[in-house]
Structure formats: structure tokens, C-alpha cells
Amino acid sequence: MSKHQLLDAIPRNALLWLLIAQVLVIAPHLFHIPLWIAGLWLCCAGWRVQVYRTRWKLPRSIVKVAMMTSAAFAVYLSRGGLIGLDAGVALLITAFTLKLVELRSRRDALVLIFLGFFAVVTSYLYDDSLLAALYSLLPALALLAAWTGLQQGQSVEPLRRHLFFSLRLLAQAIPFALLLFAFFPRLEPLWTLPQPGGKGKTGLSGQMSPGDIAELSQSTELAFRATFAGDIPPKSQLYWRALTLPVFDGRSWRLQDFGMDMRPGQWRAQGASLAYSVIVQPSHRPWLFSLDYSVSAQADVQQLTDFRLQRNRPVHRSYLYEATAWPQSIADPVLPAARKRQYLQLPRPGNPRTREWARQLREQYADDRQLVNALLSHFNQQPYHYTLKPPLLGENSIDEFMFDTQRGFCEHYSSAMTFALRVVGIPARVVTGYQGGEINPAGNFVQVRQMDAHAWVEYWLPGQGWQRADPTFQVAPERIEQGLQDALLDEAELLSSGLFSPMRYRHVAWVNQLRLGWENLNHGWQTRVLGYQSERQQAWLRQLFGQVNWQQIGVGLVLALVLMMGVLALWLIRPWRNRPDPISLELQKLDRLLAKHGLARGQGEGLNAFYQRCQASDRLSKAQLAALEQFCADYEAHCFAGQTVPVEQLRLARRQLTARFRPWSRD
């Protein structure tokens, strides 16, 4: 191997750290990339090890092109294309894997390390929780250790030495990261990738059919967390509106396909207000969750005509917003004729028994509110059952539910009641969202899960606006007041989480306490770190400085960074530690003394040789030579003979020589 090849070769420790880093980088991506990429990495890692052992050769150019083309085609088949978040990340991890087999020089290793850092960042596109953030430190440390291993040359050093050095580098970067996090302007992303389609993680979609919410309620996935400025309202008042579904096709309720009015609803705020903030999990949908009737001051959140809150773009990552609700407000006291017709729409055929029954009910109750109460009493007094296992329904699903099975989940009851109200001329709509939630006493917030998904009814009265009615409460009041688990104790097995999910063991006190504590930490992470966006940053800066002047903040930020770099440089260099030890300091003083009198010691000249030269020059007296000889003997005994000579003894010999140079002391 030539000298140039030896200097450019990848050290053994650096290669080991690269392999460790690749495992740590790829591991969290295994949940959303094709599993064949893991097999590809095993092949590439084995090939790389064999190349290092000089048993195999590096692949030729034609082989590398074939591997790259085949991998790209495999990604295309696995993801249905090469554009989008899933396909983009799969291509990145594939490139990160294939680069391993073509490492020829340290430059190639640096490219692989930088690609690894980028791959670590992309994992936040899927999971930005506190646990994911803590885990990301592991691959970052391994990549830093590989980087430092490249600088060691061909010398063999312990692996832990590179790890400790990487820990120091990471610790030194923390103050700079905190400063930039707090003061650097929070900008919106300059680029984005198309997100995967399909149902969002919230589970709610733009339509509701029998069985949809019952299926969703078997999931313990987190939907959002809410924090209140004051006391948390009772669970029975926590109706989190997500969507209103006005269109009915005979089986499913859905959003209006076109012509949706994006203007705010007409309402009069009255009564006490309720301020709260929500951290919603990624849903890939624009709609948010709010209490009645809410507004938000954030520029990217608006209230629509049906009084739901919606963001101006889909929620692709955890998103924090603040809102204020007025539960006692009057919403839409006057309903335009076009919208009134919309909320009375029904398909012409279908469900004849429910239509006839509703008309008979209208003959008994001319007053709209009395008729609504009669409907609710019907659900309360008749043998209806609240269940996660409702029987399948046919074409006339409402008729079959109302008069045959009488077993259903919240969507069955809300759909049947809305249909009956429209039959008798009362404008009504289905509202989907979440009801209640689990109160976390550790952080005093409400965490709402998919199992809290719910559907209820809103009906309109002239002059009084929209009124909420929940027929589920008439059948299973414990569902509203306590939660789904208490309402379905006999179907608890359907609500069980995975074997290793803490929700499965919430009846164990200490496990539940640990779970609530960890969720409180996650809530703080999402509120204070992920929720520290532009609006919060500017509010905090106004509180700190009175006004936000980005020019002054920029200058201050640069000065603070320079100051911190100066302090760090002083701490690393430590010029105060470059002083010679006391023995060497006495030698320097001796050299200056003799040089002053024309006897400078030559560069690299030892003390013994210097003494011999001084003795032959006849420029020193016997007393001076004796003092110099004593100093040289003591110094050599300390440095070369392994004897411990006190510095005071050397200092005394040097001072004696200094005294001999005084005019009155010369022999």
C-alpha cells in the first residue's frame, strides 16, 4: 500500500463506529420503510467487513449501478412511486445503506456520516415525541464517534475514547443550541414532501357509517392533549367538536362536497369564557378539535360557518393552538333558507318505518323542543343497548336499528335521531369528535384518545340557534360522565391494548402512576419545545424586551454566540495552564541571567555541555562556576536521575549565581 493510500485509508475504529451508527440510524425507520432494506444492510455490512479483511474486493462500477437501479425499482414497487414522504425516506435509507459498500477513502466516509445525520433528522417527520428525541442522541453520538475515529490515523485506540470525546463535543454544542432555539426566528419550512394518503392517525374521516366510530374506539392511540387556563370542566361538558356532517345518502353521513362556506359562523358570545390550549397529534387533516363555541387568535386557524376550527393546512406534525370557548353562546339564531334546506335534506326512498314513526311523534308534539325530549325519552325508556359489537345492518339501516336490533354505538343513535328530526322538519346535523378524556393529575391536563371518539346531534330552534342533544347519554349515561371503559365493562376485552402497552395495566396503581408521569413529561416536551413556534416566540420576546426588533435581536444573538465561543475557546485552550512547571521556570531564569552576561545557551545544548563551555571560556569566576555547577547537578538529578529535588534547592543555587554576578560579590 502506498503512502497516500495509507493516509487515506479508513481506520478500523472508524469503520466499527460507522457500522454501529448505521444500525442506530436505521432502527427507528424500520416502522415505515420496507423490511427488505434491513436485509440489504446486512448484505452491505457483510461485504464491507470482507473487504476490510481483504477477502473480497470493492464492487465494480457496473455492479454499483445495478445495485442502485435495483434498489430504486424495489422502492418504487414497495411504495407505488418515488415521490412522497415514505418513498423519499426509503430512498434516503437505501442510499445510506449502499454507500457502505463503496467506501474507498476518508472522503467517502465523511459523505456517509453527513448522510447519516440527515437520516436522523428525517425520523422526526414520523415521530417527534420526547422518547424519539432522546433516542436520536444515540445515532448522533455514534456518527460523531465515527467522525473522530477518522482523525486518529492508523493508530489503534479504545472505542470508548471516541465515545467520550463525542460526548464532550455534544455537551459543548448544547449552550449554542439552546441560544439559537430561544432567539433564532421560527421560520416555516421552505420545502415539504407530499404526505402519505389514507386515513389520518386521528381516525376521524369526512364521513360516518354504522360501525366506524365503534371500530375507532377500540384504539388507545393519543389524539390530542388539552390544558385549561383555570379548572378543568367536568367530563360531561367536554364535547370536542371536529366535524359536522350535513349530507346523508341513506347510509353514511359526510361533509359537504362543494360550496362549503369558509366564513365564520354567526353567533353571540355570552356567559363565562373558557381559555384552553390543545396539542393535536399528526392527522394529515386540516381540522382541529374545539369546545363550543371557540375562536382562536392564531393567524393559521379559522372558525368556519359550522363553528368548527380548521387550520389553513393539514397537521403533519404535533401542533399547538390556543382557543377561547363560550359554551353558553347562541349560535346561528337566524338560519338562512338555503342552509335550512341543507339541514333538512334526506334521500327520497329508504327507512319508511322511521319516517312514519317520526310523523306520528310530530302529531303528538307540535313544539320542537318537546318533540326532541320525546325522542330522547324514547331511547331512554326502550330496551336499547350500548355496545361495541353492533350487528350488521342492511339497506334500511336506521329502520333495522330502531325497531329490530336496538343495539348500537354512538353513531347509530346520533344518525337515527338526526334522521327523525329532519323527517319532522327540524334542521339537524351529526357532529363527530371526541367526548371526555382522561385527566392527568401530574400535569393538570386532559388527554383524549381514539377510544374517546364520539358522535352527537345538533338541532336548530328559531331564535335559540343550535342546540346539542346526545342520545347516547340516554342509553349509557356512564359513557358521558365517566368514560368508555366504565360504560362497557362487559366488553373490556375489546378495549384491551397491546401486551406491552401501559394502558393495558392502568388498573395497577404504580404502573398507572408511571404512565401518567411519563405522559406529563411528553406533554411538557410538546408544549415548551415543539409548541415553541413563531407566535409563542414573539410573545416571549415581547415579554422579555418589550418589543420584537429582529435587527437588534440578531446583533445580540451574534454577540452572544461570539462571547460563548470565546469562553469555550478559553476553556479548551486554557492558556493559564501553559506555564512551565517551577523546575523549568528556574531553568528559564538561569538562561536569561547568563544570556544577559554574554553566555547564552545554544538551542538544544544540554546543561552539562553548557557548563563545560562556560568553564573553558574563563568568563566566570570560581564562585560563579561553583554555583552554576550546583544548579546543573540538581537539575539533572531531578530530570534524569529520578531524584526528587525540591524547587527551593534549585532556586537557592540560581540565586547564589545571581548574587555572584554583583560587582561586590565577584571573586
**pLDDT, tens digit (0-9, with 9 covering 90-100), for 265-285:** 788 888 889 999 999 988 888
Measure the CA–CA gap between 25 and 490, rounded to whole angstroms. Answer: 44
**pLDDT of the residue at 322:** 92
Measure the CA–CA gap between 450 and 456, rounded to whole angstroms. Answer: 16
Q: From the CB of residue 196, how many other CB atoms can be counted at a distance below 10 Å? A: 14
Active site residue 410: yes
CA 610 to chain CA mean position, Å = 69
pTM for this entry = 0.72
Q: If you count them, how many residues does the chain have?
A: 667
Longest pairwise C-alpha distance within the chain:
139
Q: Which of 332, 470, 614, 632 is catalytic?
A: 470
Residue 189: helix, strand or coil by DSSP? coil
Query: Which neighbouring-strand residues pair with 435?
Result: 239
State the Cα angle at 21 between 17 and 25, rounded to 5°: 175
Q: Which of 454, 614, 632, 634 is catalytic?
A: 454
pLDDT in tens, 78-110: 888 888 788 889 999 999 999 988 888 888 899
CA 506 to chain CA mean position, Å = 25
pLDDT in tens, 322-370: 999 999 999 989 998 888 999 999 998 889 999 999 999 999 999 999 9
Q: Which of 128, 378, 410, 412 is catalytic?
A: 410
Tell me the pairing of strands 247-248 and 253-254.
antiparallel
Mean pLDDT check: name the lowest of 186-190, 437-441, 527-531: 186-190
Residue that is written with C-alpha cell 385527566 in the block: 439
Average pLDDT over the chain reads 83
Q: Which of 585, 587, 593, 579 is nearest to 635 (CA)?
A: 587
**What's the average model confidence in pLDDT over 427-452?**
90
Residue environment code for 60-89, b if the CB has 16+ CB neighbours within 10 A, otherwise e: eeeeeeebeeebeebbeebbeeeebbbbbb
Residue 255: helix, strand or coil by DSSP? coil
In this structure, are residues 328 and 272 in contact, taking their beta carbons and an 8 Å threshold?
yes
223 backbone dihedrals φ, ψ, rounded to 5° = -100, -50
In this structure, are residues 271 and 186 in contact, taking their beta carbons and an 8 Å threshold?
no
Residue 202, pLDDT above cutoff 60: no
Residue 284 — left, alpha, or beta (φ > 0 → left; ψ -120 to 50 → alpha)? left
Domain ranges in the chain are 3-183, 207-505, 534-575, 582-665
CA-only gyration radius of the chain, Å? 38
In this structure, are residues 296 and 276 in contact, taking their beta carbons and an 8 Å threshold?
no
Q: Is residue 123 within a helix (H) or strand (E), and if so which, with residue range? A: none
Cell of 437: 378524556
Residue ranges of alpha helices (H) inside 127-257 are: 130-150, 159-183, 212-216
Residue that is written with C-alpha cell 322511521 in the block: 354
Contacts of 1 (CB under 8 A, 6+ apart): 9
pLDDT in tens, 557-573: 888 888 888 887 777 76
